[in-house]
């Protein structure tokens, strides 16, 4: 990409009409894969919005009372039930992994292969811990009798929405973790330095892929914040 032709473009808001009015690309200097990820995430935002709006509607119109969430989600710590304990740790881990991901992107662009690989691995492990704790929370709730169709604490829809939405989010995290491991291997192997061709796509690898994966990862974290707010704080 010839960056010189992109340097003279207008900045700030003026760039919007100028970019949209131009030929070739609407997002100047943005790699295709990155633009694709943004649009995919926009679409995914609609999926999660539909889930959460359905949840609000479902919660608002049940005939039985909604369970008391601070009671349901509390964890016994040295004999004392502490509400939100597990979830606070989970959220902390996930947000931290976003930080390591951001650093991985930075080191990737600096072609610091080792640091980049370590940080991606750290991110993947963070995600794995999150999924593990989620599995723990699910099994704890299941032991207490919460099922997708009913639960001893109140409206049956609680379990339905909880398992569906956290499950859908957990699937996103798990997919992200799988890709993080794959990418860690690719970074360590030097694929992005050598421009090694992809196994499926036969296209050359580039460090921008790490940023694209990072976008996905940050999105998954951001969605978690909303799920956290709607399920645990409401």
Partner 1 sequence: MSDEQDHKLEAKSDYVADASSVSTPDIDAVPAAELPDQELYHSHSWWTTYVFSQDAKYIGIQYALTAIGTGLLGLVLSWLMRIQLAFPGLGWLEPSSYYQFVTMHGMIMVVYLLTALFLGGFGNLLIPLMCGARDMAFPYVNMLSYWAFVVAVLVLLASFFVPGGPTGAGWTLYPPQAITAGTPGYNGGIILMLISLILFVAGFTMGGLNYIITVLQLRARGMTLMRMPLTIWGIFTATVLAMFAFPALLVGCLMMTLDSLLGTSFFMPAMVSLGEKLTHEGGSPILFQHLFWFFGHPEVYIVALPAFGIVSDLLSVHSRKTIFGYRMMVWAIVGIGALSFFVWAHHMYVSGMNPWFGFFFATTTLIIAVPTAIKVYNWILTLWRGNIQLSLPMLFSLGFIVTFLNGGLTGLFLGNVTVDVPLSDTYFVVAHFHMVMGIAPILVIFGAIYHWYPLITGRMMDETLGKIHFWITFLGSYAIYFPMHYQGFVGVPRRYFEIYDSPYIDTSTLLLNKFITIAVLIVGAAQLLFLYNLFASARLGKKSEKNPWKANSLEWQTPQMPPEHGNWGKELPKVYRWPYDFSVPGAKEDYIPQNQPPSEIIGAKVEKT
In the complex, which residues of this chain contact partner 1 (CB under 8 A)? 1-2, 5-6, 20-30, 32-33, 35-36, 39-40, 42-44, 46-47, 49-51, 54, 57-58, 61-64, 148-149, 155-157, 159-161, 164, 168, 200-204
Which secondary-structure segment (H or E) carries 180? Answer: helix 157-189
User: Nearer to partner 1 by C-beta: 20 or 78?
Assistant: 20
Q: CA 138 to CA 147: how far, in whole Å? A: 10
Which secondary-structure segment (H or E) carries 202? Answer: none
User: Nearer to partner 1 by C-beta: 49 or 70?
Assistant: 49
What tokens appear for 74 in the block? 């509390």
User: Nearer to partner 1 by C-beta: 39 or 78?
Assistant: 39
* In contact, 119 and 100? CB cutoff 8 Å: yes
* In contact, 53 and 62? CB cutoff 8 Å: no
User: Nearer to partner 1 by C-beta: 56 or 225?
Assistant: 56
Q: CA 132 to CA 170: how far, in whole Å? A: 10
Cβ 102 to partner 1 shortest distance, Å? 24
Q: Which residues sit opposite 204 in a β-bridge?
A: 197
Cβ 19 to partner 1 shortest distance, Å? 10
Cβ 67 to partner 1 shortest distance, Å? 13
Length of the chain: 234
Cβ 53 to partner 1 shortest distance, Å? 9
């Amino acid at each position: 990409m010839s960056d010189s032709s992109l340097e003279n473009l207008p900045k700030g808001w003026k760039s919007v009409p100028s970019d949209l009015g131009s030929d070739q690309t609407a997002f100047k200097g943005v790699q295709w894969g990155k633009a694709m990820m943004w649009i995919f995430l926009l679409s995914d935002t609609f999926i999660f919005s539909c889930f959460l709006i359905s949840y609000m509607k479902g919660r608002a119109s049940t005939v039985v009372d909604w369970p008391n969430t601070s009671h349901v989600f509390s964890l016994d710590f040295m004999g004392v039930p502490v509400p939100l304990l597990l979830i606070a740790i989970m959220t902390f881990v996930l947000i931290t992994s976003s930080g390591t991901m951001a650093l991985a992107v930075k080191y990737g662009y600096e072609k610091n292969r080792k640091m980049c690989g370590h940080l991606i691995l750290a991110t993947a492990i963070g995600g794995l811990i999150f999924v593990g704790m989620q599995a723990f929370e699910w099994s704890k709730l299941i032991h207490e009798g919460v099922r997708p169709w009913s639960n001893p604490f109140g409206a049956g829809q609680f379990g339905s929405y909880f398992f569906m939405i956290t499950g859908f989010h957990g699937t996103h995290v798990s997919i992200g973790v799988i890709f993080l491991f794959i990418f860690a291997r690719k970074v360590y192997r030097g694929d992005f330095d050598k421009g090694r061709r992809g196994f499926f796509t036969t296209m050359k690898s580039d460090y921008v892929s790490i940023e694209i994966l990072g976008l996905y990862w940050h999105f998954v974290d951001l969605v978690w914040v909303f799920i956290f707010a709607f399920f645990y704080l409401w």
